[in-house]
Structure 1
């Protein structure tokens, strides 16, 4: 657990706040007295924790969310400038989604080995440059290539940022801290299209370069607050609930994530088409989609603090079980009740997805970034494939019968969460 003491006369190492979870008070004091560092696996740290806590990561995550949805806001201008059809625009989204999702496990593993300071800021720089330069590209192939390369920044940022948050947050407040981190990304996603509208109105398509300074500022903030090194422990305390097999360590949280992400992704993809097909005006359908996004900001804020008191698994199970009822209510309830059912569904599913990632990190504390990357990245990859399959079912059966099949998916996710019930709640 402890590294060797520094040699006599050596320059003392920079003092950093570490993650002391699972380390006895005697061990902590001994490490401090001897100038050693102790941690429980991945322990990225802050230089000035009193001034810049995990809020710096939350603000950076908001910038990531803003960049991703601002790109969608540029689609009409790109389509007009380069005469792109729906299939070509869809390919941009497909490439960016697959690269960002499939890259997360690899970057998470790198983060566990190299630490956050090397990868987090540069991920933001890459994403910011890619989004800002998209309006200057000479043609469609360059746009696709730039979009695909730049979202490697997302793949680097998300799992490592999630690991940083859970490492520096007090165990009894980890759910709250992680909820703030997740909700900040959702909030950034809400304002992204609005930012895109303002940029296009002020400077046209070439005005996308105006977004670059946001990423550079966020990267500089992270660079100035994260310590340059991360020390990995040789062993882990026996008191930590470490599960080294894939099934119990990552497989079950991954199944929960796939269930929650599949239902949520289907809503994002098919909500407006479903509603206009049921006679709802396009403007109202768009407002319902905005309502879904806003609810996604609130969901983690409620689920995170609740899980700190009640435990991760019970809250996940409650969120997914509740989403079964609200989902069916949205499909079959009278029209006046549908917005309420939609808002509740939009709150419950992101709450469950957020806690699934947090649960995976707590079950694999020696590889937090890897756990976050696998569950988030592969979970949304599976959800993307499932969304495509459900679209085929909707073409064959009709949208409402096809979307009804998502109810048992959420129910299965709740059952998996109950199978993990043995993990107790974290209390002060």
Structure 2
């Protein structure tokens, strides 16, 4: 390869990496805006709590059935079409959300948005991993940072729009325009389908081959280990985040404003942790950091639950947010490394494992209803315990 060709390839990799990271930022930006806008959307469209529940349940269920199929298609030669088509669907869904004037149209928009996000965002992550196969953990850390930044900026974007006397509709319309611009930028670059894995005996030529290799992968202990640990680690990530405000109000006894401050502090230090993880992984092995982090969380989380002082609780919570911010990045990076040439299938297996992991909040809710939230919060210690058992 000539020097000019090598430089051109390097520039393409850098630009594609930036585009993929912006796609993740945009996806989490949409998620942050949507979460903050639900009360406004409910009031404008006169939605009931049942309808809000359906908006959260039906699109997610439909997407869970479609996304495993998209992942396999992404590994058998249709990666570029799926990502670009997903981007177009992503933009159309955002446009429909901004134009929706009743529950039915909003539900249609959400049903389109979820699988479109899977094709556009999840396959972009897979392609980012394929571009630098020896730097999965480092690039996943960058991906997580972009997502955390988008999640924090989402509510701020909505608040800014309201401050300038704009509605939630204008924010979603602007996000649709940004999506179109991103798809236009991505259209200019080649998106390669990964080469066949060394772990499979034949290249994947058909959808049937893709299903067969996905089943074979589930029989491999290393793949099962990372899939399982990803689900356990989520107990200290999204699951803890979901129960955090309720814990501060119902157990600690603070008001809603103080509970919101605690959640903001948790997210803020998580963002800081994602930022610090990028240079750290250039110097320290990800699994070594993960072991130390899990040990510290195993010590700090019981202290967080036991100390009565609210200020001390907040300080410990901030350290917890800082320490576990790299768990997803490292574990997901290890899963990609365990399945070379099958990055789309990683998306498929993640969705299948998510079916099981997704039951955790419901199960914890049942336990909390029966025994109270305080004892239920101790169950989340299963996350660092599982990590330490598997890693040591």
Give TM-score, length-normalised by structure 1.
Answer: 0.77
Instruction: Show structure 1 runs of 4+ deviating over 6 A.
Output: 15-18
Give the corresponding residue for 2:245.
Answer: 272
Shift of 1:237: 11
1:241-390 equivalences under 5 Å are: 244=217, 246-277=219-250, 278-303=252-277, 305-307=279-281, 309-333=283-307, 334-375=309-350, 377-390=351-364
User: Take 2:304 and 2:48, find their aligned partners in 1: how far apart are those partners?
Assistant: 32
Match of 2:374 among 400, 406, 412: 400
User: 8 Å contact 2:336–2:343 — kept in the other structure?
Assistant: yes
Q: Hey, which of these two has a bigger chunk of helix by percent?
A: 2
Deviations 1:401-422 (A, max 9, x none): 111111134311331233xxxx
Give the corresponding residue for 1:224.
Answer: 188
Provide closer, same or farther for how the CA distance between residues 300 and 50 of structure 1 changes in structure 2, counting only shifts above 3 A.
same
Structure 1: gaps spanning 5 or more residues: 1-14, 19-44, 419-428
The answer to which of 381-390 and 254-263 deviates more is 381-390
Shift of 1:146: 1.6
User: Take 2:305 and 2:283, find their aligned partners in 1: how far apart are those partners?
Assistant: 33
Shift of 1:361: 0.6
2:54 matches 1:91:
yes
User: Take 1:378 and 1:320, find their aligned partners in 2: how far apart are those partners?
Assistant: 25
1:56-75 equivalences under 5 Å are: 56-75=19-38
Shift of 1:362: 0.3
User: Take 1:237 and 1:107, find their aligned partners in 2: how far apart are those partners?
Assistant: 20
User: Take 2:277 and 2:61, find their aligned partners in 1: how far apart are those partners?
Assistant: 28
User: Take 2:339 and 2:72, find their aligned partners in 1: how far apart are those partners?
Assistant: 12
Q: CA RMSD in A?
A: 3.0
Secondary structure of the residue aligned to 1:285 is: helix
User: Take 2:366 and 2:360, find their aligned partners in 1: how far apart are those partners?
Assistant: 10
Give the corresponding residue for 1:213.
Answer: 177
Deviations 1:206-241 (A, max 9, x none): 42323211111122222223x154363485799xxx
User: 8 Å contact 1:324–1:408 — kept in the other structure?
Assistant: no
User: Take 1:17 and 1:385, find their aligned partners in 2: how far apart are those partners?
Assistant: 48
Aligned residue-pair number: 371
